[in-house]
Amino acid sequence: MADTLLSLENVYHRYSISRDIFNDISLNIKEGDFYFITGSSGAGKTTFLKLLSSSLRPTSGSVLFSGVNLNTIPQNKIYLIKRKIGFVFQDFRLLPHLTTYENVALPLKVQNKKEKNYKKDVVELLNWVNLEHCTHSYPNYLSGGEQQRAAIARAVISTPKLILADEPTGNVDYENSKKILSLFSEMNKLGTTIIIATHDESLISQQRASIINIENNGIRIQSK
């Protein structure tokens, strides 16, 4: 029986007095789970991911990551939790003045790790995402699919327990979507928990995963 990685207990979140986003939601996510988050635009998919990634604190209720209540962690120590979470953005967010290699190595660099200790891992990871030919290229020279694969490599490099992806296939074509999903699937087989927020029905149909549907300020879970 897998351990619980993430746990939401009676989470309530509002942006303003007139705008509730979540009203008393509770959820348990186990290690090695694969979830899709669906919902209409503005339903709160990104807010949900922000709550899970500790970028946002709920108005009330608690979010527990590996048993640690994120509300109790001081703001200046929250980076320790963020290091255990990989994040993939719709717009890739690769730094344009860094090469693909440097972008992928960035999470390790911010942890002040020595390059000689991770150089081999970065090169291996770039081979895994089929970007070995772009190691020293700047992001502007890469296609959308290549940029997203570089972003996935960056999310994976620090071997996080959890990968959160916000519309990862929103800016790429169908073929690249399939490649990206297969990368997530491979990561999941290795034991990483994956949570993907998406609108893409074709993506959901390709992967056996549970679905969290956000609607009416609450969530509805469809188990796989």
Partner 1 sequence: MNIINKVINKSEAKRVMKQLAPRPSSIISSTNFHSKYLFIVISLLSYLITILLTSFVILIGQPEFSALSIGMIQTSLISWVTLIFIIFIIISYIIIYGTHTSIIYNRNTINLLIQLGASNNFVISKIVYSFTKIGLTAGLTGSFAGLITIIFINPFLLQISGLFNNISDLVVVSSNSVYAQYYIFILIPLFIIAVCSISSYVTVKRLVKKYY
Q: Which residues bind partner 1 (CB under 8 A)?
A: 53, 55, 76, 79-80, 82-83, 87, 93, 95, 97-99, 102, 106-107, 109-112, 136-138, 141, 154, 158
Q: Which two tokens stand for residue 2?
A: 């897998």
Supply the minimum distance, in Å, between the C-beta of residue 147 and partner 1: 14
Is 63:69 a contact under the CB 8 Å cutoff? yes
User: Quick one: CA dihedral 214, 208, 184, 4, positive or negative?
Assistant: positive
Residue 4 or residue 135: which is nearer to partner 1 going by CB?
Answer: 135
Phi, psi of 99 (to 5 degrees): -75, 170
Spatial CB neighbours of 173, under 8 Å, sequence gap ≥ 6: 144, 145
| Measured torsion, CA atoms of residues 77, 87, 150, 166, in degrees rounded to the nearest 10 | -150
Q: State which residue, 77 or 120, has the beta carbon closest to partner 1.
A: 77
The radius of gyration of the chain's CA atoms, rounded to the nearest angstrom, is 17
> Cβ closer to partner 1: 83 or 178?
83
**Least CB distance from residue 17 to partner 1, whole Å?**
24
Looking at beta carbons only, is 83 or 199 nearer to partner 1? 83
Query: At its nearest, how many Å lie between partner 1 and the CB of residue 197?
Result: 15
Q: What is the nearest approach in angstroms of partner 1 to the Cβ of residue 97?
A: 5
